[in-house]
Amino acid sequence: MFKTTITPQDPMILQLVPILTQACEILREEYQLYCSGAAFDIVKKSDDSPVTQADFRVNKYLTQALADISELPLLSEEGHQDQRHEWSEFWLLDPLDGTKEFLHQRPEFTINLSLVRGSLTTFAILAVPAQQLIYFCPEHGMPLKYDIHHNVWFSYEAATDHQAVYVGLSQSSQQKLKYVEYLQSLAKFTSYSEFKAGSAYKFCMMLEDQVDIYPRFHPTAEWDTSAGQCMIERIGGGLIDLEGRPFIYNQRDTLLNGGFIAYKNHKMKMLALKALSDMQSKH
């Protein structure tokens, strides 16, 4: 949960607020244009996933804006990735996470931006253009939330434990057998409610106490998880692979992630892993 606070004095955050505000406005414009039924460019990538003019427009804007304030290289979903192993510090960007949500006219898409040093994420941003909200994870301290429309800042504060368990799921997840099996296993240990949403928006909902456990068994890439992992680790949660190891970044030949379990706190970690172990014991 969040409580109102004063404007932070973190120089990096203050430098990035107008940049992310403008990026959100670009995506809001593109979303309204798409929903209006106007002509809109959509193409398929080599992996058959869609990419739109909105992805490219935000990517172009942020690529230039980041270059204006920083000499660090940028690794973007929509940019060149061939030199990344030479970088020890860089920006990691997904200019539109949740393109499928965007195309289904569900406003659960985000902009994911993070700063990776070595193999770890040290600073992160998740912006939710449709809600005019930007979540920041500074290099030190708890996450912050900025309400663009009202120009109000909030700081993260841990809520008291609630009895219900909320499981974050993608819109299409229950069509996939592994999610059905995982939920069946989880039901042995607790009652739960489902929170369905796309993209990294589920990480934002962890900060808002609307998601406790987020299992993922179908593919993501490093730009999908870096910012969210940084946020939830900072509040005492985490994101681990199916062998229990936290994700690290830019260390492998592929940028694709394997499956993971994200959790809000230690109690949820134990519960999530108990369900995972039960599911795996059946195979």
pLDDT in tens, 217-239: 988 999 999 999 999 999 999 99
Structure tokens at 87: 């970088």
In the prediction, which pLDDT does 172 show? Answer: 72
In the prediction, which pLDDT does 171 show? Answer: 77
Give the span between the Cα atoms of 251 and 253, in whole angstroms. Answer: 7
Q: In this model, does residue 258 exceed pLDDT 80?
A: yes
In the prediction, which pLDDT does 115 show? Answer: 98
In the prediction, which pLDDT does 170 show? Answer: 87
225-263 residues labelled b (16+ CB within 10 A) or e (exposed): bbbbbbbbbbbebbbbebeeeebbbbeeeebebebbbbb
How confident is the model over 33-38, as a mean pLDDT? Answer: 96
How confident is the model over 158-176, as a mean pLDDT? Answer: 82
Give the span between the Cα atoms of 136 and 255, in whole angstroms. Answer: 23
Contact in structure between 90 and 224 (CB atoms under 8 Å): no
Q: In this model, does residue 34 exceed pLDDT 70?
A: yes
In the prediction, which pLDDT does 198 show? Answer: 85
How confident is the model over 142-163, as a mean pLDDT? Answer: 93
Q: Tell me how far apart the 2 most distant CA atoms of the chain are, in Å.
A: 53
Residue-averaged pLDDT of the chain: 95
Each residue of 192-203: pLDDT tens digit? 999 999 889 999
Q: In this model, does residue 108 exceed pLDDT 70?
A: yes
Contact in structure between 198 and 96 (CB atoms under 8 Å): no
Structure tokens at 223: 């730009």
In the prediction, which pLDDT does 48 show? Answer: 85
In the prediction, which pLDDT does 173 show? Answer: 66
- DSSP-derived 3-state class of residue 92: strand
Banded model confidence at residue 176, pLDDT cuts 50, 70, 90? confident
Q: Which among 232, 123, 221 is positioned nearest to 168, based on CA atoms?
A: 232
How confident is the model over 237-242, as a mean pLDDT? Answer: 97
In the prediction, which pLDDT does 71 show? Answer: 96
Beta strands in the chain (DSSP E): 2-5, 42-44, 50-52, 74-76, 89-97, 110-117, 120-128, 133-137, 144-147, 152-156, 166-169, 193-196, 213-216, 220-221, 238-241, 256-257, 260-263
How confident is the model over 275-282, as a mean pLDDT? Answer: 94
Beta strands in 144-259 (DSSP E): 144-147, 152-156, 166-169, 193-196, 213-216, 220-221, 238-241, 256-257
Banded model confidence at residue 136, pLDDT cuts 50, 70, 90? very high
Q: Which among 45, 40, 175, 169 is positioned nearest to 102, based on CA atoms?
A: 40
Banded model confidence at residue 282, pLDDT cuts 50, 70, 90? confident
Banded model confidence at residue 49, pLDDT cuts 50, 70, 90? confident
- Rounded to whole angstroms, what are the CA distances from 60 to 47, 192, 272? 22, 41, 39
Q: In this model, does residue 174 exceed pLDDT 70?
A: no
Give the span between the Cα atoms of 257 and 248, in whole angstroms. Answer: 10
In the prediction, which pLDDT does 230 show? Answer: 98
Q: In this model, does residue 92 exceed pLDDT 80?
A: yes
Domains of the chain by start residue, with CATH:
2-156 (3.30.540.10), 166-280 (3.40.190.80)
